[in-house]
Structure 1
Amino acid sequence: MSESIEEVVFGGGLTVRVAREVAAAAEPVLAQLLADGVPAKLAAKDATLWGPDAQAEAAIRLGWVDTFQRSRDLLPQLAELCEELADLDHVVLAGMGGSSLAPEVIALTLGKRLTVLDTTDPGQLATALADRLDRTVVVVSSKSGGTVETDSHRRAYLQAFLDSGLSPAEAGRHFVVVTDPGSPLEATGREMGAFVLLADPDVGGRYAALTAFGMVPTALAGVDVAELLDQAEEFATTLTGDTGNPAFTLGAVLGAAALRGRDKLALVDDGSGITGLGDWAEQLIAESTGKQGSGILPVVVETPISAGATGSDVLTATIGGALGVGAVPGSGVVPHVSVNGPLGAQFLCWEVATAVAGRVLGIDPFDQPNVTESKQNTNKILDEGLPAATPSFTEGAIVGYGEANSLETASLEGALRALLGATGEHGYLAVMAYLDRFADADTAKLRELLAAASGRPVTFGWAPRFLHSTGQYHKGGPQAGAFLQITGDAAADLAVPGRPYTFGQLQAAQAAGDRQALSGRDRPLLHLHLTDRAKGIAQLLDVAARLQSHKER
């Protein structure tokens, strides 16, 4: 990390600080952006900014530039909805990717209770279904209206309401649908008698934090969403200036650093009042830039001194709330970049910066060409069944499968050691857990242990939510990743009403579908299946800790 912070750019309540050498590298890039008139063109929603190949997609994806203004039209509807549903104080959000990550950040940061369902794990879903069902309102959010996970959640909750004795009309009152106009979910919602709120079709999911997707569930949870819009609107006054433009400075820094080899971005919560922003930014950046063999890999790390927060190819960024006068960013560590300000401003800043970085890298930041591959594999497996696989080893509660690149898999420790070695000098390891992110939360401790053991950036993603986030980068970005997939037996399965499969079968098919997509690229892949989740997680953490200890000797 840098020894000193040199450049300070502030405006609209948000401050970006940049280390001296990073600022120097970004200076010519920023100068070119300004010379090309990019700030004014972006404010005018000029779809030509990313080249002719991206123009058609960009033309229908730039509504986020001023959504803080247009989303105000929702405020009266939200007030009426909150009054109508005042007796339903347990808000469940069924949504994936851009439909769930921003609302979760908003609720966590502002101290409101929101149950987010972005899983197909039967245990996690069963826990949610058993929680205050009579007081539950389910917000079903899907831009396309065809997201299989979200549709499955809707089916499970509808059946639960009917089984509790509610009539179909009474059950419908417990649902709020957020989707694009004309989607299949709009029609389904109206047939159910749900409350239906239509989203802005000119905003892609990962840029939709300040649209209906971010505002509806959080307003129901008790958030003053108008305040977020106010923060974004104040920040927007900085976006057309040649000076005092934090978002363009940040975008130039991200793009210039990636071009010079710092193409991993460590995102660190500095503890100053915004919770979970790294997870939202991870999806925004990975899915927007990870394509055509290039991109920026976000790595969400626990603290500024955690393993994986630094490296010759890592740009370290701390993120958090507004700092007091004289406060120093970074929680005692000086990062390459720090971004501090209110949440509404943070959303808009990172959206602009990501779009700007896309221009610098020469890619379309609004498409996601590789996301559907794993979905198609999943659908085929649901139709035809899981492909046969022969275990490479069984050790305690863990069954291991070496899926690609002939990893040495005679033992758990040997397989993990081989996988870490396969990351190479400029690679990364992605840990992908198809488990319950609450009951099996200790699994996330693997990230730091394996980062310390390998000396390389390590990402951690709960499945299937990461498929709507870093999954695009895994397939479309630089082919430098090694992959650890973790699955596990569930204590009990749960039917998906009206479908010929269970949640457990859907989860297994999603895991197998992603394995096929990664194996098809000849990437190093180790699949570990836990026959007993608690014992298997403990066993895995123990081996990872030994590998870390050996590395430190």
Structure 2
Amino acid sequence: MTIEVSLGASAEAAQEVKERLVAEGVPAALTAGDPALWGPDAEAEASIRLGWLNLHETSRELLPRLTELAERVRAGGIDTIVLAGMGGSSLAPEVICATADVPLTVLDTTDPHQVRRALGPGDGSADVLRRTLVVVASKSGTTIETDSHRRIYEKAFENAGLDPAEHIVVVTDPGSPLHRLAEESRYEVVLADPNVGGRYSALSAFGLVPSALAGADVARLLDEAAQVRPLLAQNEGNPGLELGALLGAEALRGRDKLILRDEPSEITSLPDWIEQLIAESTGKDGKGILPVVGADAAEASDQYQVTIGPEAGAFVDGPLGAQFLVWEYATAIAGRVIGIDPFNQPNVAESKENTARLLKEAGDGPLPTGRPILVDGPVEVYGDVPGHPKDLADVLTWLLKSLPPQGYLAIMAYLDREAAFDAAAVGEASFEETAEAWAAADIATLRGLLDHRTDRPVTFGWGPRFLHSTGQYHKGGPQNGVFLQITGAVTDDIEVPGKPYTLGRLQLAQALGDLRALTSRGRPAVRLHLTDRVAGVRHVLSAAKEL
């Protein structure tokens, strides 16, 4: 097993930083788990967040139980694994299962239409639910999205005459509220290492349990990480040190936009996981590295590109388990270089608190959406846009013109991320025709359309999924972002049992709460509300093509 890190044109700058880190004894100190590496203010947090360095060993204790649990699940006729989790509890399993080509349904959304897709016809027929196992994963045990999913599935199982205890597995930290609830409910519980933060938990129970149940070879991931682990203590031939020096060196010289390219390789969608790891770890104290997924190339002086897979220029190539560990190590190194604590997330709670406040203040009444400044067909526009825009194209043009020289545009879509698949059924047309139909119906296509009209980086995130990743960077990182939020009318809502809100209401409150957090910083922000989701997506994409 080998893992290769090529620094490309950035080798000279990275070498200087690497030499300084070696002189300071950082590689040996980090692999030994020294919590003082990030300064006295970070030491308390770091002292309980370095367990990821040894997961290649400690997680092996889970393997016999996971094998037994997977065999029991399959013997019980279960063939559908649903993962209810957010951020670090969902992104790694999604990459692991996509790479292993095993099916896993990930619920990291509050969109009721997407949740209904997972439930199946009629909010879950007895036949569908009988073959379904839900992994409820939350480190804190209080994640509102995951708690909502658990409540909805519990009711669905009960309505189908099934015992939820036979269809729910819980992954959480010891002593969390979810741990206590799971024991009371007789759910199978797998406890995670409490000394591992969510975004560093790929090789912990959070990454391994749902992946193993779905059919992935998780022992192989640990083997791959174990083989690269000894290299991380070395001063030379250390891929984590070289990558971390690259990330830190580029940020120090003002190149703080990391374009992540995913070339065809044995690994699928790793940049989505890296995005959360780096953005949430470094985006704070007005500093940070902004990962940009999906861009064609780095286009300006504050951008550089790293490719997953062998390619010209800077790249990282190697098996998935090793890459997880190397990127985690590199992110911790980059945190030291740029002078931040890579293990806290001081701004994540802000949007959560705004959401709770909005729901409480609104009571049974409507949420405070305000009045649209413009209605263009199936799209309502909210925000403070000067100059009396006459249509959606004017609004998008203003957003692009508002981008500062070192800024970025963030598109945040609180919609069903699988809705575009309704545009064309697989098998009814050629692959090219099907892909074209999907792209024409997918709001994520907007990222590429706007990216071609600016040399500033354009990011795209599904809400509330991104709140657990780039959401920290938006609020804690450099205050040079411009924000485009997209919400949509809910036509088929879902009650959250035991709570005074529906999923659709929670989703809108999350969007409005985050928008409030962003506008409080004085950054340009617009919300587009699609009164008809299908027509609205088409209209937004059409307007972007006109620019």
TM-score normalised over the length of structure 1: 0.92
Of 206, 209, 221 in structure 2, the residue corresponding to residue 213 of structure 1 is: 206
Residue aligning to 1:484:
484
- d(CA) in 1 for partners of 2:521 and 2:267? 37
Give the equivalent residue in structure 1 for 2:321. Answer: 344
Which of residues 282, 289, 301 in structure 2 aligns to 1:312? 301
- Partners of 1:183 and 1:356 in 2: CA distance: 30
Matched, 1:15 2:41: no
**Aligned ranges for residues 27-176 of structure 1 at < 5 Å?**
27-86=15-74, 87-130=77-120, 132-166=128-162, 170-176=163-169
8 Å contact from structure 1 (residues 95, 140) kept in 2: yes
Q: Amino acid of the residue matched to residue 34 of structure 1?
A: V
Which residue of the other structure, out of 222, 241, 245, is the alignment partner of 2:234? 241
Partner of 2:449: 449
2:407 corresponds to which letter in structure 1? G
Structure 1 segment 93-492 matched on structure 2, within 5 A:
93-130=83-120, 132-166=128-162, 170-301=163-294, 306=296, 309-320=298-309, 329-330=310-311, 334-335=312-313, 337-385=314-362, 386-403=367-384, 406=386, 409-440=389-420, 442-492=442-492
Q: Which runs of 4+ in 1 moved over 4 A?
A: 405-408
User: What amino acid is aligned across from residue 300 of structure 2 in structure 1?
Assistant: G
Residue type at the aligned position of 1:205: G
SS of 1:461's equivalent in the other structure is strand
Amino acid at match of 2:160: S
Gaps of 5+ in 2: 421-440
Query: 2:82, 2:133 within 8 Å by CA — same for their partners in 1?
Result: yes
| Cα separation, 1, equivalents of 2:508 and 2:491 | 14
Asked whether the 8 Å contact 2:262–2:308 carries over to 1, the reply is yes
Query: How far has the Cα of 1:119 moved from its partner?
Result: 0.2
Q: CA deviation at 1:102?
A: 0.1
- Residues 24, 407 of structure 1: alpha-carbon distance in 2 compared, 3 angstrom cutoff: farther
Cα contact 2:402–2:524 (8 A) shared by 1: yes
AA matched with 1:490:
V
Rounded to whole Å, the distance in 1 between the matches of 2:389 and 2:414 is 21
- Asked if the contact 2:141/2:178 (under 8 Å) is kept, the reply is yes
Shift of 1:67: 0.8
Q: Secondary structure of 2:415's partner?
A: coil
How big is the shift at 1:28? 1.4
2:498 paired with 1:498: yes
Q: Aligned letter for 1:395?
A: D
Q: Is the 8 A contact 1:421 1:454 kept in 2?
A: no
The answer (yes or no) to whether the contact 1:479–1:523 under 8 Å persists in 2 is yes
Deviation of the 1:83 alpha carbon: 2.0
How far apart are residue 311 of structure 1 and its match?
2.2
1:400–1:409 CA contact under 8 A, matched in 2: no
| Deviation for aligned residue 1:388 | 4.4
2:430 aligned partner: none
CA displacement at 1:152 relative to structure 2? 0.1
Classify the secondary structure of the residue corresponding to 1:196.
strand
The whole-number CA distance in structure 2 between the counterparts of 1:185 and 1:273 is 35
* Mapped partners of 1:216, 1:409: distance in 2: 51
SS at structure 2 position matched to 1:429: strand
- Contact 2:59 / 2:205 at 8 angstroms: preserved in 1? yes
Q: Secondary structure at the match of 2:453?
A: helix
Which structure 1 segments of 5+ residues have no match? 1-11, 321-328, 548-553
C-alpha separation between the residues in 2 aligned to 1:498 and 1:200?
30
**Does the residue aligned with 1:237 lie in a helix, a strand or coil?**
helix
What letter corresponds to residue 345 of structure 1 in structure 2? A
Counterpart of 2:51, as a letter, is G
> 1:442 is matched by which residue type in structure 2?
D
Distance 1:51 1:104 in 2: 34
The structural deviation recorded for 1:455 is 1.9
**Distance (whole Å) between structure 2 residues aligned to residue 388 and residue 344 of structure 1:** 44
2:538 maps to a residue whose letter is: A
User: 2: CA distance between counterparts of 1:407 and 1:38?
Assistant: 53
Report which stretch shifted further, 202-211 or 187-196: 187-196
Query: Is the contact between residue 281 and residue 335 of structure 2 (CA under 8 Å) also seen in structure 1?
Result: yes
Residue-by-residue CA offset, 1:285-317 (whole Å, 9 max, x unaligned):
000000000000000016xxx2x5432111101
Cα-Cα RMSD: 1.2
Alpha-carbon distance between aligned partners in 1 of 2:300 and 2:445, rounded to the nearest angstrom: 20
Distance 2:523 2:177 in 1: 36
Tell me the distance in 2 between the aligned counterparts of 1:406 and 1:263: 30
Deviation (angstroms), 1:409: 3.8
CA contact (8 A) 2:211 2:218 kept: yes
How many Å separate the matches in 1 of 2:330 and 2:341?
14
Aligned to 2:442, the other structure's residue is in SS state helix
Q: Percent identity?
A: 58
Residue 411 of structure 1 deviates from its aligned partner by 2.0
